[in-house]
Structure 1
Amino acid sequence: MKHILGILLACAILGCTQNHKKKALLGNWYFVSSTDMETGAVELPEHDNEEFVRFGPDSLYLMSQSDTINYFAWRIKGDSILLNEFGAVYIKALTKDQLIVEYDFFGMMRLELTKRKNP
């Protein structure tokens, strides 16, 4: 009986895993805030140099209004964005207008982004 309950629990947990589609991420996502999960410090973007992420079909570009800061090859797997040579970013929430991700590259961080159409 315990074995059956264990299997059912595992199926329920796996069934909750989000399988996001690449199409939902394509476009420009602008930074709203970043939160250091260990200290609770919140950083807001500077108004004079708006930064955003441009998701293309195979490339992700970190951009500012004036320059490309960095770019990565990317793919999506389940509830994570896998960045080649950089690691994974966990998708905490994804709607048509909002993206919240968490990652642990140099400490646990949470980024909130909003999707906007190109000006």
Structure 2
Amino acid sequence: MFRPLVSPTTYRRAVFLLLGAVIFTPYALIVALIVGMFAAAQEDVAGVIATGLVAAAIGAVPPFLGGTRELEIAAAHALLGVDLPAHDRNRPLTREARLRAPCGSVCTC
């Protein structure tokens, strides 16, 4: 009954859950801000839409940055505790592989 409380795996998983929440929070706050601006905008709806598009474009960039794939591999290795294939940095990634990393299970590449 108390075994999960003393298991290091429990606390490792808790850290990854907190890390996910920390990464998600700025995106949620931006969405709440844009929705609030859109609800309060009486005349300048075009400005709110433009601000939302700029925020979406900035928010979409981090998954496509260079070290994101290595960071995801390291996080999955640490969380799962299994060996994962290493990424060969000398071989360029295909377009499909580049899209799979940020899209996750959302896109069917």
Sort the TM-score into its range (normalised by shorter chain): 0.3 to 0.5
Greater helix proportion: 2
Q: TM-score, normalised by structure 1?
A: 0.32
Q: TM-score, normalised by structure 2?
A: 0.34
Greater strand proportion: 1
